[in-house]
Amino acid sequence: MTATGGPLAGVKVVELAGLGPAPFCAMLLADLGADVVRVDRPGAGAADDLLNRGKRSVQVDLKHEQGPQAVLALAQEADVLLEGLRPGVTERLGVGPGQCWELNPRLVYGRMTGWGQEGPLAHTSGHDVGYVSLTGMLHLIGRRDGPPQVPANLLGDFGGGAMYLAVGVLAALLEARVSGRGQVVDAAIVDGTAHLGTMLWGFFGTGGWSTERGTNLLDTGAPYYDVYETSDGGHMSVGALEPKFYAELLDKLELTGKVPDRDDATKWQKLREIFAETFKQRTRQEWTEVFDGSDACVAPVLSMAEAEQHPHMAARETLVRRDGRVQPAPAPRFSRTPNPAPGAIAAPGAHTEEVLRDWGLPQDLLDSGAMHSAPR
């Protein structure tokens, strides 16, 4: 029989409201079927943030004398607690790991920071661009003779941060079910981002990756792994690394036998000029039709506004609509325990009474004023 709640159905997660990577991790767990309760401050929180989809929200006043007790009551019933505050803040608030473990020793305590829980920069402010700068990863993104190019905040916040927090939390959750003991998961964006670069560190260590940006195989150095402008101002990406794919690229471009040897790096600039001139002869749509269904590893560069309409994206329903908004569908996919559809965005405090009831918590937490309820 096929389950419908997702592979994490039955897992309870408490998320202390924050920004960026920690909420994304909590959203991912919700997408996988976990019951995620976000703890918002009274009067705070965004009602239209997609990172709050599929969650339930309660409002807790941590300045109230019973505010910490309300969070601890949630933690006592949870499997996981996620927080993205500066090191030591939750301890000062009275809801740190040790305080939670006194009530629930099996709790996995996930901590999301940029610099980590210790180290010279642990207590300083930062953002994605700074974190990825110190790992060496930002330095390698960009064209030759140009500055490093900032990849939005995908590489650090979400790739090196949120995804590593999710993996760490799930690993600790599995271990806790064997040992009966929770632990802290210290997910630092600098650690995860450096780890993402393992293959490139391997290349670098054996002389296969130059620190001169834009001269390597995968950083636009190779003309057959790059992006080219079309006649209408659009762009096509080319990733024809393997010889057989490269041969098909030349065939589709009608350049077979007309270009220099790609294995001679001294001829790369000439080869790039030929590719650029060729791609400028047709529109992006015309080139899309030329390469459609081929193994030349060429694709149109679509905007976010266009991506939903691509036949492959549409067939897989990679992007879906809910309440009139386009958003990514849950990923990855499971054969036996499929993920639920993306849930509604949790308005701050909209589920306080519901969570108290469902998690078996005392009503007096609400009556005391430590918790607040807001209309849906």
Helices (H), 180-310: 189-196, 198-205, 243-253, 268-279, 284-291, 304-307
CATH number at residue 265: 3.30.1540.10
Q: Residue 217: CB partners within 8 Å, gap ≥ 6?
A: 225, 241
Residue 358 and residue 240 share a domain: no
- Domains in the chain, number: 2
Last residue of a domain, one of 301, 328, 355: 301
- pLDDT for residue 375: 76
Residue 233 and residue 182 share a domain: no
Indicate the pTM of the whole model: 0.95
| Domain limits for position 146 | 12-196+346-372
Residue 239 and residue 192 share a domain: no
337 inside domain = no
- Token pair in block for residue 95: 């809801």
Residue 21 and residue 164 share a domain: yes
48 is catalytic: no
Residue 186 and residue 90 share a domain: yes
**pLDDT surpassing 80 at residue 1:** no
157 inside domain = yes
Residue 129 and residue 63 share a domain: yes
Residue 189 and residue 59 share a domain: yes
- pLDDT for residue 176: 98
Last residue of a domain, one of 301, 318, 337: 301
107 inside domain = yes
Residue 189 and residue 50 share a domain: yes
Buried b / exposed e over 195-220, threshold 16 CB at 10 Å, is ebbeebeeebeeeebeeebbbbeebb
Mean pLDDT of 344-371: 94
113 inside domain = yes
Helices (H), the chain: 21-31, 67-77, 89-93, 97-101, 128-134, 163-179, 189-196, 198-205, 243-253, 268-279, 284-291, 304-307, 311-316, 352-358, 364-367
40-54, 229-243, 280-294, 305-319: which has the minimum mean pLDDT? 40-54
pLDDT band at 4 (very low <50, low <70, confident <90, very high): low
CA torsion, points 140, 146, 151, 157, in degrees to nearest 10? 60
- pLDDT for residue 46: 65
| Residue of 123, 127, 232, 364 marked active site | 127
Residue 158 and residue 22 share a domain: yes
Tell me the C-alpha distance between 129 and 156, whole Å.
7
Mean pLDDT computed over every residue of the chain: 95
226 is catalytic: no
Maximum Cα–Cα distance across the chain: 80
| Residue of 157, 191, 219, 226 marked active site | 157
CATH number at residue 363: 3.40.50.10540
Distances (CA, A) of 291 to 179, 314, 366: 54, 19, 61
183 inside domain = yes
**pLDDT surpassing 80 at residue 376:** no
Residue 184 and residue 78 share a domain: yes
Residue 32 and residue 111 share a domain: yes
Residue 280 and residue 176 share a domain: no
Give me the percent of the chain exceeding a pLDDT of 70: 98
229 inside domain = yes
* pLDDT tens-digit series, residues 257-269: 999 999 999 999 9
Q: In what order do the strands lie in the sheet with 225-229?
A: 225-229, 235-239, 298-300
333 inside domain = no
